A = this chain, B = another copy of it.
Amino acid sequence: MTNINHNYTELQGSYLFSEIAKRRTKFTQENPDAQIISLGIGDVTRGLPEAVIQAMHAAVDELASPGSFRGYGPEQGYDFLIQAIIENDYKARGIEIGTNEVFLSDGSKCDVGNIQEIFSQDSIVAVQDPVYPVYVDTNVMAGRSGAFNPETKQYEKIVYLPTSAENDFIPSLPDRKVDLIYLCYPNNPTGMTLSKAELKRWVDYAKANDCIILYDSAYEAFIQEEDVPRSIYEIEGAKEVAIEFRSFSKTAGFTGVRCAYTVVPRELKGKDANGNILLVNDLWNRRHTTKFNGVSYVTQRGAAAIYSPEGKKQIASIVEYYMTNARIIREGLSSLGLEVFGGVNAPYIWLKTPNGLDSWAFFDKLLSEAHIVGTPGVGFGQSGQGYFRLTAFGSRENTEIAVERIRKLSL
């Protein structure tokens, strides 16, 4: 029998959202009349912007006849979209990014999952805690995690950087040498952000300590406050130490359409086992062109339409819709005396469970008494215990009903 990748045996249980789905299914089977409202998984609910719809229709028509047909495109993405990204997401903020530094893909989950492949197998990985599980699981699969400790519920070799109300959700710098640091801002799941000064501390640390920051910025579009950096490259020197991941999933409702991009600056260097210096950009380009075949042409045309004047207005209005939901949840729960975080520059509200309930107990209470599905904080890591995530991605009506239902609970 063929030997499998033994690292997979270190993966813990199934994915958080499977357990949520299981409990929800059980509840609805036993309570078929309950009107469940989901503020759980971070999926959007509004339709695609009209500019995107038009662009996708036009692209489909192009594919109908040999004269305008497009087959394989560049694995890195079409120039029309890369240029729009550079102009609007970077140049407009004073950041120079080259066309060979942007790599389009079918999703940030794929990119943040695949990026570790180009680094040494003995790299030490640091993650925030709570954390998006993909960062951890993909490093477990690659053999970087060490054994899982059932007592601490953490992997031996992974360096966890706890964030909670106690440290104002600002992680401490690692207390030992690490090679790769995953940072996610605006943060999933806490909805919190770093100021420019705080992010600068991380960039300076990475420069001084020879590490690379993997900066997941999938929720950038939701930033409202001035001092919050939109891109890590706003920080001087960040191009020498950081890779940035962005997504159209939440910005423009592309969760089912699939488009994201990753910026790998040419300034970012690594070394091989013989001490030779290589450009990380070249490695990622090689990986991307060998294992990926480009984003759907229809999707790329849709994504480019976001940068048109109409597209910009339309996505601004969608972001405003969700951020109003976030305010309704935040203010509603605060008024009940709950401790609430996030929801100002991110579509996630992170709340402290009342009366010291653990995360899953609060999940069950919310499901059974208010028919609301949220996400238990502990599912994102041990520092998430006693917290709970609600998302602003529901409809306005459901968001308002949900807050009313919570108001009636005895908390």
In this complex, how many residues of chain A approach chain B with their Cβ under 8 Å: the count is 85
Min CB distance A24 to B, Å, is: 15
Q: Which B residue sits closest to A137, measured CB to CB?
A: B290
Q: Which B residue sits closest to A107, measured CB to CB?
A: B293
Extra contacts besides A3-B123, A107-B293, A257-B298 (11): CB < 8 Å: A2-B180, A3-B122, A4-B118, A4-B272, A4-B278, A5-B117, A6-B120, A47-B65, A56-B298, A63-B253, A106-B106
Which residues of B sit under 8 angstroms from A109, Cβ to Cβ? 291-293
Contact of A296 among B15, B57, B63, B299 (CB under 8 A): B299
Q: A3–B292 Cα gap in the complex (Å)?
A: 24
Contact B110 A292 (CB under 8 A): yes
Query: Considering the complex, which residues of chain A in the window 96-140 have a beta carbon less than 8 Å from any beta carbon of chain B?
Result: 106-107, 109-110, 113-114, 117-123, 134, 137-138
Contact A53 B45 (CB under 8 A): no
Query: Considering the complex, which residues of chain A in the window 260-309 have a beta carbon less than 8 Å from any beta carbon of chain B?
Result: 269-274, 276-278, 280, 283, 286-287, 289-299
Q: A1–B278 Cα gap in the complex (Å)?
A: 10
Contact B287 A210 (CB under 8 A): no
Q: A110–B287 Cα gap in the complex (Å)?
A: 11
Contact B69 A45 (CB under 8 A): yes
- Given A47-B63, A60-B56, A106-B106: A2 touches B297 (CB 8 Å cut-off): no
| Residue A25 lies at the interface, judged by CB distance under 8 Å to chain B | no
| Residue A73 lies at the interface, judged by CB distance under 8 Å to chain B | yes
Min CB distance A246 to B, Å, is: 15
Contact B113 A290 (CB under 8 A): yes
CB pairs A–B below 8 angstroms (7 shown) = A3-B179, A47-B66, A48-B69, A106-B293, A106-B296, A141-B290, A298-B299
Contact B56 A69 (CB under 8 A): no
Q: A150–B153 Cα gap in the complex (Å)?
A: 48
Min CB distance A119 to B, Å, is: 6
Min CB distance A296 to B, Å, is: 5
| Residue A28 lies at the interface, judged by CB distance under 8 Å to chain B | no
| Residue A258 lies at the interface, judged by CB distance under 8 Å to chain B | yes
Q: A9–B107 Cα gap in the complex (Å)?
A: 27
Contact B271 A1 (CB under 8 A): yes
| Residue A41 lies at the interface, judged by CB distance under 8 Å to chain B | yes
Contact A60 B53 (CB under 8 A): yes
Contact A47 B69 (CB under 8 A): yes
| Residue A64 lies at the interface, judged by CB distance under 8 Å to chain B | yes
Contact A296 B2 (CB under 8 A): no
Q: A233–B248 Cα gap in the complex (Å)?
A: 39
Q: A15–B291 Cα gap in the complex (Å)?
A: 12
Q: Which B residue sits closest to A300, measured CB to CB?
A: B256
Contact of A297 among B70, B257, B295 (CB under 8 A): B257
Which residues of B sit under 8 angstroms from A114, Cβ to Cβ? 291
Contact B60 A294 (CB under 8 A): no
Contact A256 B1 (CB under 8 A): no
What 1/0 flags go to A296-334 for Cβ under 8 Å of B? 111100000000000000000000000000000000000
Contact A270 B66 (CB under 8 A): no
Contact of A45 among B71, B73, B277, B289 (CB under 8 A): B71
Give the top 4 A-B pairs by smallest Cβ distance, nearest first: A3-B120, A113-B291, A4-B270, A71-B255
Which residues of B sit under 8 angstroms from A73, Cβ to Cβ? 256
| Residue A338 lies at the interface, judged by CB distance under 8 Å to chain B | no
Highest count of chain B CB atoms <10 Å: which of A72, A210, A255: A72
Contact B45 A179 (CB under 8 A): no
- Given A119-B5, A293-B109, A293-B110: A46 touches B69 (CB 8 Å cut-off): yes
Which residues of B sit under 8 angstroms from A270, Cβ to Cβ? 1-4
- Given A3-B270, A294-B256: A72 touches B41 (CB 8 Å cut-off): yes
